[in-house]
Structures are given as structure tokens and as C-alpha cells.
């Protein structure tokens, strides 16, 4: 299997690259523009396999994408390249429209050109588009997102991802391009850029800084260990049906405040300090348009793909905290030179 992975130096993309090369024996071309959240260290060592290549390029560059397809001759594409942080989208939406919408359009067109050039044997080609549960909007106290839940995005980020999902679906319906869409719940695990909740709280706690919790911390998210998600994406590629969607969730709904409490408790054992880490918790002004609850129904992926979540939230959180404790050489340059943990997305509604 020869697979192009876009955004393969990012958090989820690098997990997909590692799984594809190390576990499945696939040949991978990782295409990444190396924006702020990408890190070549996430895929260090893969080149030694002889089955991994890297191309620094932007998915918005259609000629570059077309040339990459023609040179690498992929059997499939896994499209993960995206701007993904909601807070950044609030104050800088243009980058999200460009990468998530225009970039997806460029990649679809490059893939369509390649696919239509293939003979009958090459018609097994697949285009897997990796999206998010945030396109579905916000749930009340009950219910789960399914593959047929109506879209209701609430942030510039989720709106841009919803637009990209619609493009992918349209290229299947209009041109017959064999596309699949996956939507996932919140991922966590090693190599996570420290602007997102779990790595931010871990690193702030290690440095004795305040642990910011939006609003009253009652917003609920479903948490999925990143390696389980990488397995799910691969299973969608191998076993999924073109034109279909598959949701991947961790069956681990937690209030944000409970997640922060859990991190503090793990750190109290693994890296104890004079006072409990919970003492660092600080409640801050809520994010504009903050969705109340996300929860994924993964039964279709379990039934049709044979996928199962294998890592519990408690086990995954222990592994994640331990990884950050053991890998300061990875995160210290990011904290010192890229993002120190300052609050993002500070724009009041109506302004």
C-alpha cells in the first residue's frame, strides 16, 4: 500500500504515519507545510524504514499536489492537513478558510486527476478525509452524534471543517471520486502541541503556572486516545465503503474540570510538589460560542469496520502524562520558542 498522508507532522497525522509505516508496513509520503503546530520530530526515525518520504508543501498548492501524486503514485490519500485550534480560529479565521477549505479543494482536484488516469486495477484508490465531531454542533445533556446528525458548526474552525466535509461528499456524488469521511471526538496522547487542553494543563502544572478552565468547567467532551484513532482511520481506508462516513469516539465523556482534576491527581503521584496541583486551577472567561457537549456514537465503525477503542481514558491519561514527563526535550523548545501557554481567542461577542 502506497499512501499520501497530508499533515503528517501534526499530532494525529504523525500517529497515522507511525502506525502506517511501523505497524502496517505501508509506504508513506508525508506532505506537510510545517506550520507552527507541525514538528518533524514527531516522525523522527521513520525514514530509516525505507518506506517513508517527506515533502514540504502546502495542500493549497495545486501544481505541487498534482506533481506529488504523479511522482509517488499512491493507492490512497489520508487527508489530515488542517488548522485545528478553535481559539486561534476566533482571532484568525482566514488561515482556517485557506487551509481547511481551499486546501481540501486543491487536494480533491489533484486526487481526481490522478484517479481518472488509472486503469481498472487502480480504481481501488481511496480518499479518506479526516474531520471532527465539532461539525455537528452542540449536544444537550443526552444523545450522541451519529453519521446522520445534521451539521451545525458554531466556530470558524468547525465551519471550515464542515465546508471541507461537504466538498469531499460533493466530489463523491458529482465525480464518483471514492471518498470516505471520518469524524472523531477529542484526541489526546503523546506529541500533542501544547495549545490544547490536556498538554497545556500538564505543562502548566509542571511549571507551577495557573491551570485555566473556561467558564465553570462544565463543558463535556468525549476523549479518544490518538493511537486508537490512527487505527480507526486505517480501518476506514481498508474496510470502509466509498461515500460513507464513520465516527470514532472514546466512550469517555468528561467535563473539562474533571479532566483537569484527573491530570492534577496523576501529577500529584508522578511529580509531587509541596501543594496539590489542583490548587493551580483558575477559572477564566469562557470561550465565545463554546459548545456545551460532544459525544460520539461509534457503533457504525465498530460494526462495519471491526474497530474498537482499546485504551481507556484513565490508562491513556497516565501514559500521556508519563510521556510529557519523559520528553521535555520535545516540548521545551515549543514552550520557549513557539507557544508559552498564553490565552488565545480573546474576542468578545458583538465586537
pLDDT at 179 over 80: yes
pLDDT at 351 over 60: no
Q: What is the pLDDT of residues 112-125, one digit of tens each?
A: 999 999 987 668 99
pLDDT at 347 over 80: no
Q: State the pTM of this model.
A: 0.96
Average pLDDT over residues 201-226: 97
CA gap 139, 154 in Å, rounded:
12
Q: What is the CA radius of gyration of the chain?
A: 20
CA gap 300, 341 in Å, rounded:
37
Q: What is the pLDDT of residues 249-302, one digit of tens each?
A: 999 999 999 999 999 999 999 999 999 999 999 999 998 889 999 999 999 999
Q: In what order do the strands lie in the sheet with 186-188?
A: 186-188, 220-225, 253-255
Pairing of strands 76-79, 179-184: unpaired
Q: What is the pLDDT of residue 123?
A: 80
Task: With cut-offs at 50, 70 and 90, classify the pLDDT of residue 342.
Answer: confident
Q: What is the mean pLDDT of the chain?
A: 96
pLDDT at 138 over 60: yes
Task: With cut-offs at 50, 70 and 90, classify the pLDDT of residue 154.
Answer: very high
Q: Are 317 and 261 in contact (CB under 8 A)?
A: no
| Torsion sign (Cα): 295, 80, 14, 124 | positive
The catalytic residue positions are: 133-134, 157
pLDDT at 348 over 60: no
Structural domains in the chain, CATH included, are 2-185+226-249+293-310 (3.40.50.720)
Q: What is the pLDDT of residue 269?
A: 98
Task: With cut-offs at 50, 70 and 90, classify the pLDDT of residue 248.
Answer: very high
Average pLDDT over residues 175-203: 97
Pairing of strands 76-79, 126-132: parallel
Q: What is the pLDDT of residue 349?
A: 56
pLDDT at 83 over 90: yes
pLDDT at 333 over 60: yes
The C-alpha cell of 66 is what? 498534482
DSSP class per residue in 116-130: HTS-GGGGG-EEEEE
CA gap 211, 216 in Å, rounded:
13
Q: In percent, how much of the chain has pLDDT > 90?
A: 94
Amino acid at each position: 500500500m502506497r499512501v499520501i498522508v497530508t499533515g503528517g507532522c501534526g499530532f494525529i497525522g504523525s500517529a497515522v504515519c507511525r502506525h502506517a509505516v511501523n505497524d502496517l508496513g505501508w509506504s508513506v509520503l508525508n506532505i506537510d507545510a510545517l506550520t507552527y503546530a507541525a514538528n518533524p520530530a514527531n516522525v523522527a526515525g521513520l525514514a530509516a524504514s525505507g518506506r517513508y518520504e517527506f515533502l514540504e508543501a502546502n495542500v493549497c498548492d495545486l501544481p505541487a499536489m498534482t506533481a506529488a501524486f504523479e511522482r509517488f503514485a499512491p493507492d490512497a490519500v489520508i487527508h489530515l492537513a488542517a488548522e485545528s485550534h478553535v481559539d486561534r480560529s476566533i482571532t484568525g479565521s482566514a488561515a482556517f478558510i485557506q487551509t481547511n477549505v481551499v486546501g481540501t479543494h486543491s487536494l480533491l482536484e489533484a486526487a481526481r486527476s490522478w484517479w481518472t488516469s488509472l486503469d481498472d486495477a487502480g480504481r481501488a484508490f481511496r480518499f479518506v478525509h479526516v474531520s471532527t465531531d465539532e461539525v455537528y454542533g452542540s449536544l444537550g445533556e443526552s444523545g450522541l452524534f451519529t453519521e446522520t446528525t445534521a451539521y451545525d458548526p458554531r466556530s470558524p474552525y468547525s465551519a471550515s471543517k464542515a465546508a471541507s466535509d461537504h466538498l469531499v461528499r460533493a466530489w463523491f456524488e458529482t465525480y464518483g471520486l471514492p471518498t470516505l469521511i471520518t469524524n472523531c471526538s477529542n484526541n489526546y496522547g503523546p506529541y500533542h502541541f501544547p495549545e490544547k487542553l490536556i498538554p497545556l494543563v500538564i505543562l502548566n502544572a509542571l511549571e507551577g503556572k495557573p491551570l485555566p478552565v473556561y467558564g465553570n468547567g462544565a463543558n463535556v467532551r468525549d476523549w479518544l486516545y490518538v493511537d486508537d484513532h490512527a487505527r480507526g482511520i486505517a480501518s476506514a481506508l481498508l474496510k470502509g465503503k466509498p461515500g460513507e462516513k464513520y465516527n470514532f469516539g472514546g466512550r469517555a465523556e468528561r467535563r473539562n474540570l474533571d479532566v483537569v482534576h484527573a491530570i492534577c491527581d496523576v501529577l500529584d503521584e508522578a511529580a509531587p510538589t509541596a501543594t496539590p496541583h489542583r490548587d493551580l486551577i483558575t477559572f477564566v472567561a469562557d470561550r465565545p460560542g463554546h459548545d456545551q457537549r460532544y459525544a460520539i456514537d461509534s457503533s457504525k465503525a465498530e460494526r462495519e469496520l471491526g474497530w474498537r477503542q482499546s485504551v481507556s481514558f484513565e490508562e491513556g491519561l497516565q501514559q500521556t502524562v508519563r510521556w510529557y514527563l519523559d520528553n521535555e526535550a520535545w516540548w521545551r523548545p515549543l514552550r520557549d520558542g513557539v507557544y508559552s501557554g498564553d490565552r488565545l481567542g480573546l474576542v468578545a461577542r458583538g465586537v
